[in-house]
Amino acid sequence: MTSLIHIKDPLQFSQILFDLMQKVNAGISEMELYEFRYALDEYAPENQDWSQIELKDIQQIENMITGRDFFDKIQIRKQVSGKIIFDDEIKKLTRMLFVGLVKGDYNLEWVKKWFYFDVRGFYFLVRTIYFTPEILAHFGGKPYKQFDPKQNRLEVFQGLGYKDFKECNRETDQALIKLLKSLVAVKGTPILITLAGPTAAGKTEIVSRLKEAFEQNKQKVTSIEMDSFLLDNDYRDDKGIKTLGKEAYHFDLFLECMDDIHHTKRVTIPSYEKSVSCYDENGKLKPGAHPIVLEPADIVFLEGNFPFHIPEVSHFIDIKIVYLTDDPIRLKRKWKRDLDYRKKYEFNYFRNRYFRTQFLRAEDTYRPLMQECDLVVDTTNAALWATPPLQRILSK
């Protein structure tokens, strides 16, 4: 246990914490101590006396971070003097983990099991458990194929561009392309493939490469964004539609589209630009608006995080895929893509939003999809997970 003197002395406290945090995240070793202290100032208590921070016991923390109530309460856009502020509950959690590490109340193994630390945001986030016992059982308990998990080398990165990300995923992605070619050859065309997964997992990029691979086989390929079927954003807000269930979409138009794909017909889908659909809430084409018409294709990729396992939709989908990258890596991608390149978010809004939504979306969308899908591509652990029925098809 660290002495109270060390906790009360801000210089000694920060030195001990700096040494410990390098074991939590190797990226901290890229910082100088004075840089670490700059970032730590955001969490410093009154008079720099860290001993005044009260700690919850381990079981209290585990209970808190495994229930949705804690995440539901995170305020993404709370403002003070016209500026969005860092959510106080997230701040308190990070401060508590800092002090608990230095005091020895929270050991490193426990902290790393339940949390990960993002250097650029300089805060702790809760690890999302994607592979529950039920999902593992759905896939027969072990991966169908396993490769060297090269994403491990990305830990020191504060932001991550697609070039490095793609290189680390090379073996896994090539195996996926080969596997899908085999499945399409067995199942025949037309074939509808869904590819869902968290933001910044690499869905758009892998679909682009899959399209190229099939086009090289002289097969016609197209893709459809599930977001194209969304109702106007203002209408959804007025009706209080907060989740992306079927009530948020032109669902009847979507089902017609799915049916047309399997009957090799031209497919008409809504255009959706600047959060506005070309169809009104009753499914009528707005005056002067024009939908998108797609010619018949051999292979159709449907991208998005709609619950494709629901009965009205499931029978239309020939291959259901979840393309997964673990939260810490995706966060690095989003810093680079959404903050550096797109300038899309304000800093504190982004920190609050990412912290809050990962748990809730895993619970509401990704884990339910993984429980029912045919294939999970886990790029972080470089593994392909296939259901036993799918494995039997591939073994023929």
For 91, 218, 275, the CA distances from 99, given in Å and listed in that order, are 12, 61, 44
Last residue within a domain, chosen from 91, 126, 161: 126
Q: Which residues pair with 145 in a beta bridge?
A: 384
Asked if residue 384 and residue 309 are part of one domain, the reply reads yes
For residue 1, pLDDT beyond 70: no
Mean pLDDT, all residues of the chain: 93
Q: Which of 257, 183, 259 is nearest to 224 (CA)?
A: 257
What pLDDT score was predicted for residue 2?
53
For the segment 142-151, the average pLDDT, to the nearest whole number, is 96
Q: Please report where in the chains the tokens 């002395």 appear, as a residue.
A: 9
Percent of the chain with pLDDT over 70: 98
Q: Which of 1, 135, 119 is nearest to 55 (CA)?
A: 1
Asked if residue 58 and residue 48 are part of one domain, the reply reads yes
Last residue within a domain, chosen from 98, 126, 154: 126
* pLDDT classification of 46: cutoffs 50, 70, 90: confident
Asked if residue 168 and residue 44 are part of one domain, the reply reads no
Asked if residue 22 and residue 112 are part of one domain, the reply reads yes
For 268-305, how does the pLDDT look when each residue is reduced to its tens digit (9 = 90+)? 999 999 889 999 999 999 999 999 999 999 999 998 88
**Cα–Cα distance between 125 and 358 in angstroms, integer?**
9
Q: Which residues pair with 322 in a beta bridge?
A: 196, 376
- When divided into structural domains, the chain yields a total of 3
DSSP state of 337: I
Question: Do you know the residue count of the chain?
Answer: 396
Range of the domain at 282: 226-297
Asked if residue 122 and residue 32 are part of one domain, the reply reads yes
Asked if residue 138 and residue 58 are part of one domain, the reply reads no
Q: Cβ atoms within 10 A of the Cβ of 123, count? A: 24
395 versus 389: the higher-pLDDT residue is 389
* pLDDT classification of 230: cutoffs 50, 70, 90: very high
Sign (positive or negative) of CA dihedral 229, 235, 237, 238: negative
Asked if residue 321 and residue 253 are part of one domain, the reply reads no
* pLDDT classification of 259: cutoffs 50, 70, 90: very high
Asked if residue 308 and residue 291 are part of one domain, the reply reads no
What pLDDT score was predicted for residue 366?
94
Asked if residue 94 and residue 43 are part of one domain, the reply reads yes
Last residue within a domain, chosen from 247, 275, 297: 297
**Cα–Cα distance between 331 and 337 in angstroms, integer?**
10
For residue 20, pLDDT beyond 60: yes
CA 256 to chain centre: 29
| Stretch among 218-222, 285-289, 307-311, 349-353 having the lowest mean pLDDT | 307-311
For residue 144, pLDDT beyond 70: yes
For 117-132, how does the pLDDT look when each residue is reduced to its tens digit (9 = 90+)? 999 999 999 999 999 9
Asked if residue 110 and residue 250 are part of one domain, the reply reads no
Question: Packing angle between helix 88-103 and helix 347-361, nearest 10 degrees?
Answer: 80
Asked if residue 145 and residue 214 are part of one domain, the reply reads yes
Asked if residue 142 and residue 153 are part of one domain, the reply reads yes
246 versus 71: the higher-pLDDT residue is 71
What pLDDT score was predicted for residue 375?
97
